[in-house]
Amino acid sequence: MFAVALTALLAGTLSMASLAAPAGPAAAPEPVDDWTDIVRSSPYWVSQGVHDNILTIRRWVLTESAYCDEPDRHILFDVRGEFLGWIEDAPTRAATQTLLNETRARLAADGRVSAWARGDDGTTGYPFALACDQPHVNLDEARARYLGTLPADRVWGTWDDLVLGTPEDPRPLHEALDYVFRTRQAQGRLELPEALPRYLAGQILIESGGQVRAHSIAGARGILQLLPAALDDCGVPVASHWHRMAQIDCALKLMHQNARNLRPAFEERFGGLPADKRDRLFTLLLIQAYHGGLGRITSLLSDDNLARPARYFARYHERFSAGDIAFGLIFHNLGRDRFGLASLYYVADVQLATAALCNSPRLRGSDFCR
């Protein structure tokens, strides 16, 4: 399916080369002052297909492929996540911004979009632009680390009542995640969607690349980039903050708490969806809550203003996939409550990392990925 879509997109590459050229006979409309006005005026139906479209452009970034096979480019896309074209970056950031805005105007003049907005270093423009050259995990290396291809990446030791491996027989990180999840589930300490563990594996890849000593400037640490306060809340002593089984145990505990607290608002809004679709949507929202906070995700379901898209998607859910709904809830609230495109990119990247794991010979067809 991806190959077919890419073939179709390649047909637009040649026309893209002329986007930065001087404008032809058609004049661009005046730019919109605020890019969020374009979002607010977009009908909810534009979210049909947005999930797969965003996954496609994020795949290009993560795998450095298609239009991102060269890093010094930006790709442009519309409110549906549909690819519109690309530019080669200029020698400076300021010149690249100028070129992006000229390209946006040209796309509007050509009727590719109905409106456009200027962007700069501190302001989102429209059509949206995504840089190919940005920090991202090397999926191949992260997957090898997670699967324990090298002995140095494997796990052994104890945490709480958990014991895994020995110095002579360390186990892959994948086995650690599976072991912690199954143990806590058997103890009745977890109530999570069936698919959640494999997405947590994807989060490990995206959050840290599976590197035990990964840390951020905000102070998040370890394979799941947990803040010290969260680890303290989980009862993890400072000496064990980097412990991989402790990190997994804490993340699962936080996911369980988020699921329990999100469930009432979710069931009230989306309880009428078919079971499979409901479970997948709930799982995607849990991933989003891990990234952006439970309160903000709950507000998308229950706040009088932010929940307007949710009311529409619940009523007409048969027109949208679970992924479209999850992304639509965010998209139609971009610019509100600190929701930005990064919120969509995170969930997309986790899904792509999960797919990379489950397409590996080691996990393909396993119960973990089924």
Provide the CATH number for the domain around residue 182: 1.10.530.10
Which tops the pLDDT comparison, 84 or 1? 84
Mean pLDDT in residue range 262-268: 98
Same domain, 193 and 320: yes
Output the CA torsion 299→302→305→310 (10° steps). Answer: 100
pLDDT at 22 over 90: no
Is this structure's pTM higher than 0.85?
yes
Q: Residue 6 above 50 pLDDT?
A: no
Dihedral (CA of 245, 246, 248, 249) sign = positive
Residues 125 and 153 in one domain: no
Any domain includes 363? no
Is 181 among the domain residues?
A: yes
Quickly state the pLDDT bin for 11 (edges 50, 70, 90): very low
Query: Do 122 and 144 have their domain in common?
Result: no
Q: Is the pLDDT of residue 112 over 80?
A: yes
Question: What is the C-alpha to C-alpha distance for residues 85 and 110, in angstroms, rounded to an integer?
Answer: 13
Q: Of 131, 149, 168, which closes a domain?
A: 131
Shared domain check, 46 and 118: yes
Residues 100 and 187 in one domain: no
Number of domains in the chain: 2
Is residue 96 included in any domain, yes or no?
Answer: yes
Taking all residues of the chain, what is their mean pLDDT, rounded to a whole number? 92
Weakest-pLDDT range from 7-16, 48-57, 75-84: 7-16
Residues 68 and 56: beta-carbon distance below 8 Å = no
Give the pLDDT of residue 27. Answer: 87
Residues 164 and 63 in one domain: no
Half-sphere exposure of 56 (CA within 13 A, CB side): 24
Establish how many alpha carbons lie within 13 A of residue 230's alpha carbon, considering only the half-sphere containing its beta carbon: 23
92 domain-assigned: yes
Cβ atoms of 324 and 51 within 8 Å: the answer is yes
- Domain match, 14 and 111 both: yes
Judge whether residue 182 has pLDDT over 60.
yes
Amino acid at the residue 359: N
Which of 131, 159, 194 is a domain's end point?
A: 131
Q: Tell me, yes or no, whether 10 and 56 share the same domain.
A: yes
Q: How confident is the model at residue 3 (pLDDT cuts 50, 70, 90)?
A: very low
Q: Is the pLDDT of residue 350 over 50?
A: yes
113 lies in some domain:
yes
- The whole-angstrom separation of Cα 165 and Cα 187 is 21
Residues 190, 335, single domain; the answer is yes
pLDDT surpassing 70 at residue 62: yes
Q: Range of 157's domain?
A: 139-358
Given this model, what pLDDT does residue 25 score? 54
* Residue 84 and residue 158 share a domain: no
Do 154 and 289 sit in the same domain of this protein?
yes
Quick one: 251 and 347 in the same domain?
A: yes
pLDDT digits (tens, 9 = 90+) for 187-240: 999 999 999 999 999 999 999 999 999 999 999 999 999 999 999 999 999 999
Write down the pLDDT at residue 28: 87
